[in-house]
Amino acid sequence: MIPAAFEYFTPSTVDEAVALLRDQPDAKVLAGGQSLMPVLRLRLAAPETIVDIGRIGELQGVRDDGDALVIGAMTPHSTVQADPLVGEHARLVSLATATIADPQVRHRGTFGGSLAHADPAGDLPAVAVALDASFVIAGPDGRRTVAAADFFEGVFSTALAEDELLVEVRVPKYTGWGAHYEKFNRVAQQWSIVAVAAAVRLDGDSIAEARVGLTNMGSTPIRASAVEAALVGRPATPEAVREAAALAADGTSPVSDLNGDADYRRHLASVLTRRAVLSAAGTG
């Protein structure tokens, strides 16, 4: 299909982009287009204005900012996946990014685009929540920072106002942590039915700290706090981890669809959490 007609802008700075979002009617941000283009082509949406932020240089790349990494919103997944800083300090991000769709999508799709899209089945939101990332947002009145836990508000809905732009994401360094992203789907390019993001810091044989995020277990990514608490101080053994992982579905409200009902998803959350944590502990 051919999208309905729209006005198309290609700002070269964040300020320009924000001004366009403020001034142009019914504007939508194009940040790689891997989700927006199909929606436009299917005519499920017909915004009057498209603001393509693909040519804003300051939104690109990964940089070291002391105790955190800063990932530009328009950094393609393929760049994030291959970035050595990310590999060293936020390995969970590398691993989850590597599971997104297929190579073509990972070359066009962007880190910030994927987060701002806030698809409950998207892979990066749970990672951002698990790692306590913070989101730097530019708007007409300047910049503000929102914690990952507050950024995701619902299905395809975030703390971003209509005239705001996600600029960069700050990911605290998890140097030396083990990480694993356990994704469950039926074919390789499919969204997650359920996935679990886990990062673990070991102290000897026991778990000193744990971060666990759940993908597609509700309308927003979910931090499995009960699992995290149950893991701390326990040995990284199958038995101990199984016990903690049994709590994974606590407080979740997953959807029922062709790929499984809510009960099945809750069951998966616990199985996948066990596997993710054990793998993460093994990779530390």
Partner 1 sequence: MTTTEARPTAEVGNPRRRKEDARLVTGRTRWTDNIVLPGMLHLAMVRSPFAHARITAIDTEAARAATGVIAVLTGADIADEQGALPNAWAIVPEQKAPVHPSMAVDHVAFAGEIVAMVVARNAAEANDAADLIDVDYEELPPVLDLRQAATDSSLAHPDLGTNVSAVWSFDSASAGTGGDVEAAITAARDGGILIEKEIRQQRLIPAFMEPRSIVVDPTPEQMTVWSSTQVPHFVKIFIALVLGIPESKIRVIAPDVGGGFGGKLQFTPEEVLTVIAARRTGKPCKYSESRSESLMAAHHGRDQWQKLTLAATNDGDVTGLKVELIADMGAYLGLVTSAIPLLGAFMYNGIYKFPSYHLKCTNVFTNKTWTDAYRGAGRPEATFAIERLMDELAAKVGADALAIRERNWIKHEEFPFATVAGLKYDSGNYEAATAKARELFRYDELRAEQLKRRESGDPVQLGIGVSTYTEMCGLAPSRWLGSMGYVGGGWEHASIRMLPTGKVEVITGTSPHGQGHETAWSQIVADRLGVGFDDIEVLHGDTQVAPRGLDTYGSRSLAVGGMAVLAAADRVIEKAKPIAAQLLEANVDDLEFSGGRYGVRGTESGMTMAELAFAVFQGHKLDGSAEGCLDADATLDPEDFSFPHGTHLCAVEVDTETGATSIRSYVSVDDVGVVVNPMIVEGQVHGGLAQGIAQALFEEAVHDESGTLVSGSFVEYLVPSSADLPSFTTARTETPSTTNQLGVKGVGEAGTIASTPAVVNAIVDAVRHLGVSDVPMPCTPYRVWKALQEGAQS
Stretch that binds partner 1, among 15-23, 57-65, 161-169, 265-273 (CB under 8 A): 265-273
> What is the closest distance, in whole angstroms, from the C-beta atom of residue 255 to partner 1 in the complex?
13
Q: Which is nearer to partner 1, 66 or 188 (CB)?
A: 188
Q: Which is nearer to partner 1, 131 or 248 (CB)?
A: 248
Taking CB under 8 A as the rule, does residue 156 contact partner 1?
A: no
> What is the closest distance, in whole angstroms, from the C-beta atom of residue 2 to partner 1 in the complex?
5
Over the window 7 to 46, marking each residue x when it contacts partner 1 by CB under 8 A and - when it does not, the resulting string is ----------------------------------xxx---
Give the angle 253-256-262 at the CA atoms, nearest 5°: 50
Q: Which is nearer to partner 1, 103 or 154 (CB)?
A: 103
Q: Which is nearer to partner 1, 162 or 263 (CB)?
A: 263
Interface positions, 83-102, toward partner 1 (CB under 8 A) = 102
Instruction: Give the Cα separation of 218 and 222 in Å (integer).
Output: 7
> Backbone dihedral region of 204: left (phi > 0), alpha (psi from -120 to 50 degrees) or beta?
left
Instruction: Give the Cα separation of 4 and 236 in Å (integer).
Output: 55
Site size for partner 1, by CB under 8 A?
25
Q: Which is nearer to partner 1, 34 or 134 (CB)?
A: 34
> What is the closest distance, in whole angstroms, from the C-beta atom of residue 260 to partner 1 in the complex?
4
Q: Which is nearer to partner 1, 156 or 264 (CB)?
A: 264
Of 104, 157, 190, 253, which one interacts with partner 1 (CB under 8 A)?
A: 190
Q: Which is nearer to partner 1, 142 or 188 (CB)?
A: 188
Taking CB under 8 A as the rule, does residue 107 contact partner 1?
A: no
Taking CB under 8 A as the rule, does residue 239 contact partner 1?
A: no
Which amino acid, one-letter code, is at 72? Answer: G
Of 12, 157, 175, 189, which one interacts with partner 1 (CB under 8 A)?
A: 189
> What is the closest distance, in whole angstroms, from the C-beta atom of residue 112 to partner 1 in the complex?
22
Interface residue list for partner 1 (CB under 8 A)? 1-2, 4-5, 41-43, 102, 184, 186-191, 193, 258-261, 264, 267-268, 271-272
